[in-house]
Structure 1
């Protein structure tokens, strides 16, 4: 087998890429990655240079990984700025580095996309070794596999990569019949608080509706992109996703794009842009025209929970960070990434740091679960990742 790198996702046939196991995840589909490249969100200017890894067995695509040469650490959500600063203080270059990830998307899933006709373990080991060999051949500082699934992480750990834990907050569907059934498992105080937050939204004259990507109009994309841009600017962030990119995702991914739209007298005033797979809803972008009481909670959390219940999705990952999600039904959930630094001294130092960080993250997640709104007997029965 031969491992090659391509400078654009368009250099591999979409049908071949999407036939690999794991590409049903919307963020790993050829259409999603291509849209980011077509509209400049992934570009050298933004620090993401495509370097996708393809493992070929003659004319058969045996495996692949979405990979990038990174000129910075923005848009990754696994924060290694301190490592970059340490390199700089010692006169070394941390950038570029090789990153296997989904740009701007802290979503969990496979990072090794495998042809089901081949033994999975062998493909994983070949990809892990091959990425490291490419790192060495290019003389870049390191290789990083971000938000990878357990099977990938096990392979990478066995290949001398150091594992880093993170903490997100995920909602799990316990087979609820409706939103009230979900609330019934909570303490009275938490249940009343959520009902009050939802009631305030309605009292402001706001209504909610769900729109899928294949149903969104040009006018709606105009409004949603305006909300997204405004919110990013207000928080000092760069809105790299263009309106045309959002519209292309809606067109190409169709019902895998889920929009929760808040309207005032029929006019959109806020919205959340989400994606979904066969079993998971992923929250990604949010924005609003102006501030409304509790509208963020309704649009970004409660609408998503209700959608999962109605459509039978197993879980809802609303995005990175946000401890306030716990009191609203999202439980601390560990995420994993794997890292290999070429420099032996820094590899040892980072490995030591991560060995000490992991139990602290685990303890943080356990402590935070004490704030979960569920009654004790209900919490014990909830499914976990």
Structure 2
């Protein structure tokens, strides 16, 4: 694999230049904050905390997304005549963990045929299955041309580094169209999101459900707190180191059982609390004078992103209350449009979350593997569409 420093190239289309940065810290905070969606206060552009300078930099600074863990920074920097125009958060990966768009089957098939699948390039937010901008362009530039240049650059860098593939995961549909035009293959999957239809309170939301479903959710919420459990929302100054200690214990317990080795370390949470406290919501469950469970959420300008959950006591329905019902309560109170509750989980459907199609784009360098993947993805897209229609038809909402 060619060194990152050797991958910079002049792109023929539009006279753009692309360079590869080994760390987010090689960008300045000021220039990164000019990228669409990466900072608050951009007119007409929703803020996504996961593509902010702080979030991506903290992942590296804490040692969570670095070469040692299989996430070597290969971030693309787009310029024209020395002017910064865009960036693409990208990593050279030596495995397929922490991505939530699974390509293990592709890797196994390619290596059985004598190929070498790793390293690959992964354009994503590490450990975060949330849709958000990937082809990041300076807000005041011609984003159409700059996005196309970034898509072309990613393909060129993949070929120049002689890696097997480049993957852009959890990208918006309009960006996937740009990537398809550059030769990437479209892939779809399913998540479940709560859509706030302008509800003034939780009862307004319940009124959209069938009677039997309303009764079931009310009962579930009562039983979740029946053991003397209370719920607290912690954000901003409430995010003390003591609160992070408690939450990290929950995270390690659940993460250790689910993944074997949790992706995020204690330093990550301290830095998030120090630099992004107003973008974080901890939903914490208390019983007997101590916290026993919690979930971390990140707050965008119009979306609440549910992420990790953990507990040290098991109680019926507590997971649903802390992760899903409380997220709906918060979104309604803050007038957020959407709750993204993370990857997978058809059990979310019964709790008022709707099936939503997520998208990614994949450039496969080897022609034979590319043909096989293209055929597979065509079948998979059809299956995802059919499942989505079925789930929408069998949701908990009232008919008519």
TM range (shorter): over 0.9
Instruction: Compute the TM-score of the two structures, normalised by the length of structure 2.
Output: 0.92
Aligned to 1:315: 338
- Extract structure 1 runs of 4+ deviating beyond 6 A: none
Aligned residue pairs, count:
377
CA-to-aligned-CA distance 1:141-180 (integer Å, 9 cap, x gap): 0111101112211111112211000000000001111111
Q: List alignment gaps of at least 5 residues for structure 1.
A: 378-385
Structure 1 counterpart of 2:254: 231
How far did residue 213 of structure 1 move?
4.1
Match of 1:302, SS?
Answer: helix
- Contact residue 169 and residue 333 of structure 1 kept, 8 A: yes
> For 2:108 and 2:259, how far apart are their aligned partners in 1?
22
- The answer for unaligned runs of 5 or more in structure 2 is 1-15, 39-46
| CA distance in structure 2 between the partners assigned to 1:101 and 1:71 by the alignment | 15
Is contact 2:89-2:125 (8 Å) kept? yes
1:376 aligns with 2:399: yes
What does 1:42-57 align with in structure 2 at a 5 Å threshold?
42-57=65-80
- Tell me whether 1:37 sits opposite 2:52 in the alignment: no
1:63 correspondence with 2:86: yes
Match of 1:359?
Answer: 382
Equivalent of 2:172, from 149, 173, 177? Answer: 149
* Distance of 2:104 and 2:346 partners within structure 1: 22
Matches within 5 A, 1:92-241: 92-241=115-264
Q: Distance in 1 between matches of 2:176 and 2:332?
A: 30
Matches within 5 A, 1:86-97: 86-97=109-120
Q: Distance in 1 between matches of 2:208 and 2:375?
A: 41
Alignment-derived partner of residue 380 in structure 1 = none
- Of 11, 21, 37, the match for 1:6: 21
Separation (CA, whole Å) in 2 of partners of 1:236 and 1:12: 32
* Structure 1 residue 46, shift from structure 2 partner: 1.9
Q: Partner residue of 2:359?
A: 336
Whole-angstrom CA distance in 2 between matches of 1:59 and 1:130: 16
Can you list the C-alpha shifts for 1:252-280, whole angstroms capped at 9, x where unaligned? 11211111010013311100001011000
Q: Hey, what's the Cα distance between the residues in 2 that align with 1:120 and 1:43?
A: 29
Q: Distance in 2 between matches of 1:58 and 1:254?
A: 37
Backbone CA RMSD of aligned residues: 1.0
Alignment TM-score, normalising by the size of structure 1: 0.96
CA distance in 1, matches of 2:81, 2:89: 21
